[in-house]
């Protein structure tokens, strides 16, 4: 019985670590995409050619949906940051 409780606690801990790592990866991706968007707007260039990514207008809506996903994973509101 104790082994099962210990295994369960360990699995819960691992789950929390994985969820945290996933949230961090999403946040990093969001930051990098935001950086690309800023560079594109400032220099009026396409950093990522259309063949490799979404059109600029689609990327912006994609960034907004990613922000919401990260907020859900982290339990925060990134628009307040």
Q: What is the pLDDT of residue 38?
A: 92
Would you list the domain boundaries of the chain? 2-75
Q: What is the pLDDT of residue 59?
A: 60
The better pLDDT of the pair 75, 8 is held by 8
Q: What is the pLDDT of residue 42?
A: 92
Distance in angstroms (rounded) separating the CA atoms of residues 26 and 56: 19
Q: What is the mean pLDDT of residues 11-29?
A: 95
Contact status, residue 70 vs residue 26, Cβ threshold 8 Å: yes
| Residues 6 or more apart in contact with residue 17 via CB below 8 angstroms | none
> pLDDT of 31-76, one tens digit each?
998 998 899 899 998 887 766 655 555 566 666 677 777 777 777 6
Mutual angle of helices 2-43 and 56-74, in 10-degree steps = 150
């Amino acid at each position: 019985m104790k082994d099962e409780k210990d295994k369960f606690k360990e699995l819960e801990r691992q789950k929390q670590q994985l969820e945290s790592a996933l949230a961090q990866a999403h946040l990093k991706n969001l930051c990098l995409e935001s950086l690309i968007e800023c560079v594109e707007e400032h220099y009026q260039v396409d950093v990522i050619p259309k063949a490799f990514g979404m059109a600029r207008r689609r990327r912006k809506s994609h960034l907004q949906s990613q922000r919401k996903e990260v907020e859900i994973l982290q339990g925060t509101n990134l628009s307040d940051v």
